[in-house]
Structure 1
Amino acid sequence: KLKGRIESGISYLLKSFNTAVISGENPDIDDEFLTKNARKVLKDLWKTSPMTCPVSEISEICLTTNDGYQIRNIPVTMMEAAEDEQEQELVFFIDKQGKIDDISIAIDENKYSEIMSEHISVEDLFRRQVIVDFVESYRTSYNRKDLKFIESVFSDNALIITGKVIKEKPKSDYALRTLSTERIVYQKRTKQEYITNLKKVFSANKYINVIFDEVEVIQHPKLTDIYGVTLKQEWNSDRYRDVGFVFLMIDFQDEMHPLIQVRTWQPEKLDGKVLARDEVFNLGDFDIVRSLVND
């Protein structure tokens, strides 16, 4: 009975996508199949880009999660995305009653399998699933322009670093021929500065499409509740496009509410060459100090 309810709900939703795109209206959202949260997520996603499902039949495994179920790899076409970025996949989160409770834009299926296969313990496997869900929700929050979610996943004392390529004028013809004319200048921002700036970006752009690729997940060798996530981010919006490397240090002291303690962004290329992996920020670049509180 539960399986049939999940199948019916997702089928209903995907059909409503296709009908809405053809009619030029918003999709019909029935309370029978979607929770209040899922309706809000869908409404936000639809504002930035209507979508269709290009296939007539889908067969996927239903995964069990801590608070329900998950269906991955649901193909959709994002109508507002650039032509080479339109084909994407969704993840549906299902509650224990069989209702769709949340929707995220998925990372690549092969990368998902690779991340999960690298677990070293049952606890690590659980955290990797949480990290994938976290990263996908984090990515989707940019597409949805969901400032509230983004603010909630950053620690109040988060360290946020952004890099900017600066071109320098060589001092001689010899320098012009032999030395780099570019360097990366880094700026440190507070959480509030980052959120304030992001609010302006969201207001200035109707459509934002953030794509995460080349995702790597590393557990700290000593502080096992600290994870580093490195990924390549493609940012596409009405007014601005860039590609860069993002590093996130995620703290699992609260298992059910992990927080970003560090976020860095670096441009993908310097002097026309892709940054080497050892030039991209990672866990080893930061000293982690834990305060001990006695009861």
Structure 2
Amino acid sequence: MTEGIADATLQKAMEKNASLLLSSFNTAVMEGKKPKIDKDWCTDGAKKSIEELWKNSTIACPLSLVKEKVTRLPGGGYQIRNIAITVLSAPKDKQDQEIVINFSNQGLIDYVNIALEQNRYVDIIGANISLKDFARRQIIVDFVESFRTAYNRKDIKYIESVFSDDALIITGKVIKVKKSDNPYFNSLGRERVEYMTQSKAQYIAGLKRCFKRNKYIDVEFEDIEVMRHPANPTIYGVTLKQEWGSSTYNDTGFVFLLIDFKDETQPCIQVRTWQPERYNNKVLDRNERFSLDSFNIH
């Protein structure tokens, strides 16, 4: 750890604990066993989530030395980013990824997430307009990384906890339409996007079925943009491209999340939308994608 922490004793503890975590991954790969996650160097919650992640994503660290700066988190604790890993259970073109390690105030590993791309992280954090906005953007990055990793480790309880009970979930589906005698109608293309709304309960029930029938799930987020609502500073919109990979099904689409920060300690998703990346042989136009402007927010 190169900078970001003044307490030398705490720094050494964090370095030791991070090293033990990465070594446990590599040893488990070599021995063909589960990693030995010790409560002496991680919290109870971290132990459980790491073990759940391992069930779905076998991870190794190819580096013998990691040098990264420490970031103090708005809600307490510390974070190091950009730790290169190899996800051995993923397809070859998806194996090279990075993780983020969060530490408690005592230096214990608090949780591990699969990271956003570093350049996207810098863009999101750098777009802040105030100290409050900066802190919230840090929380959003952490939130989005936790959200993504929860799918990868099939953590239905976490996903359920971050949605508002009355959340609105909208999913688009490409449908084929019959050829018409009207040439103007045909000029619109042979595909349409049909939208379906779901309640939180319906979405979670469907996700449980998906997790059950897929041995492997790998969700990646790209092209992430974060916007604060101009009239309501506790509301943020996150748009991203999602690549869903699993044992039985793969797709790419655009996701929009409307996140409510009324409770700073527990932001929640009020709206989630998914739209197909392409239809009629073209990428979905930006003007057709859901955003903060799509909803009447007071």
* TM surpasses 0.5: yes
Match of 2:52 among 44, 55, 61: 44
Which of 107, 113, 129 in structure 2 is aligned with 1:104? 113
What amino acid sits opposite 1:122 in the alignment? Answer: L
SS for the counterpart of 2:204 is helix
Counterpart AA for 2:31: S
1:210 aligns with 219
1:144 paired to 2:157: no
- Rounded to whole Å, the distance in 2 between the matches of 1:12 and 1:251 is 36
Task: Indicate yes or no: 2:269 matched with 1:260.
Answer: yes
RMSD: 1.3
What residue number does 2:12 align with?
A: 4
Q: What is the alpha-carbon distance in structure 2 between the residues aligned to residue 242 and residue 116 of structure 1? A: 28
Quick check: 2:57–2:153 contact (8 Å CA) kept in 1?
A: no
- Distance (Å, rounded) in 1 between the aligned partners of 2:177 and 2:273: 23
2:132 & 2:185 partners in 1: Cα distance? 53
Unaligned runs of 5+ residues in structure 2 are 1-8
**Given that residues 278 and 284 in structure 2 are in contact (C-alpha distance below 8 angstroms), is that contact kept between their aligned partners in structure 1?**
yes
Q: CA deviation at 1:179?
A: 3.5
Letter in 2 for 1:135: V
Instruction: Please point out which of 47, 62, 81 is paired with 1:54.
Output: 62
Moved over 4 A (4+): 173-177
CA distances 1:110-132 after superposition (whole Å, capped 9, x unpaired): 00000000000000001000101
2:205 aligned residue (193, 196, 204): 196
TM-score by length of 1: 0.95
The 1:176–1:286 alpha-carbon spacing in structure 2 relative to 1, beyond 3 Å, is closer
Which residue does the alignment assign to 2:6?
A: none
One-letter amino acid matched to 2:221: F
Are residues 1:64 and 2:72 paired?
A: yes
| Alignment partners' CA distance in 2, 1:179 and 1:93 | 49
Structure 2: distance between partners of 1:138 and 1:199: 16
Counterpart residue type for residue 185 of structure 1: E
Q: Residue 24 of structure 2 aligns with which residue?
A: 16
CA distance in 2 between counterparts of 1:45 and 1:69 reads 21
In the TM superposition, what is the alpha-carbon distance from 1:174 to its structure 2 partner? 4.7
Equivalent of 1:133, from 142, 156, 160? 142
Distance 2:215 2:192 in 1: 32
Q: For 1:93, which of 96, 102, 118 is the aligned residue? A: 102
How far apart, in 2, do the equivalents of 1:278 and 1:178 lie? 20
Structure 1 stretch displaced more, 169-178 or 24-33: 169-178
- In 2, the alpha carbon distance for the partners of 1:19 and 1:219 equals 44
Deviations 1:134-167 (A, max 9, x none): 0000001101111111111111111100000001
SS at match of 1:7: helix
Equivalent residue number for residue 228 of structure 1: 237
Task: Give the equivalent residue in structure 2 for 1:246.
Answer: 255
TM alignment of 1:115-130, pairs within 5 A:
115-130=124-139
Aligned to 1:32: 40
CA shift for structure 1 position 91: 0.7
- C-alpha displacement at 1:177, in angstroms? 7.0
Classify 1:187/1:58 alpha carbon distance in 2 versus 1 (closer, same or farther; 3 Å): same
Alignment of 1:83 onto 2:92? yes
Give unpaired runs (5+ residues) of structure 1: 290-295
Partner letter of residue 253 of structure 1?
K
Return the alpha-carbon distance in structure 1 between the equivalents of residues 107 and 184 of structure 2: 66
- Aligned with 1:178 (options 162, 187, 210): 187
SS, match of residue 134 in structure 1: helix
SS in 2 for 1:133: helix
Which residue identity does 1:35 align to in structure 2?
Answer: T
Deviations 1:208-242 (A, max 9, x none): 00000000000000001000000000000000000
